């Protein structure tokens, strides 16, 4: 089975999602999207498969979002996609694709809804929040 994560190793949420995927016994295909960005067609397809508005995939925190005026409601989806292609840091993360679907996995435990296999043991997020017990059962 193929699971793909669009990952930023500097992001705690992204690291937690990767660890949850691995805790289910899967080794995903990891795309560090800041190094290997999706092209325009790939990004459009990802967003379409998620079934969400383009704007919901934009990341504000720690990006050029405000400097580029991306909060302007008259900007078209094409303009927003152009900005994400030019500045991949604007793509919110992590995006995970599995045979069960594709989603922006914020908060990190959202990835469990996409994983075909259950968690194999306890899992505690980097911030100390326990979200899976020893039996692999989701706590939150």
Report which of 108, 116, 107, 97 is spatially closest to residue 33, judged by C-alpha positions.
97
76-82 contacts, C-beta under 8 A, 24 or more apart: 77/53, 80/54, 80/55, 81/40, 81/43, 81/44, 81/47, 81/54
Annotated active-site residue 11? The verdict is yes
Q: Which of 5, 11, 90, 131 is catalytic?
A: 11
Which residues are part of the catalytic machinery? 11
């Amino acid at each position: 089975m193929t699971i793909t994560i669009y990952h930023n190793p500097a992001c705690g949420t992204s690291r937690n999602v990767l660890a949850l995927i691995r805790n289910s016994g899967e080794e995903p295909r990891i795309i560090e999207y800041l190094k290997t960005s999706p092209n325009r067609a790939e990004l459009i397809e990802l967003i379409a498969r998620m079934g969400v508005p383009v704007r919901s995939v934009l990341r504000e925190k720690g990006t050029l979002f405000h400097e580029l005026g991306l909060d302007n409601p008259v900007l078209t989806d094409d303009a927003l996609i152009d900005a994400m292609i030019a500045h991949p840091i604007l793509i919110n993360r992590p995006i995970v694709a599995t045979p069960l679907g594709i989603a922006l996995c914020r908060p990190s435990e959202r990835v469990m809804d996409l994983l075909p296999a259950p968690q194999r043991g306890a899992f505690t997020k980097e911030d100390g929040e326990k979200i899976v017990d020893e039996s692999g059962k989701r706590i939150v």
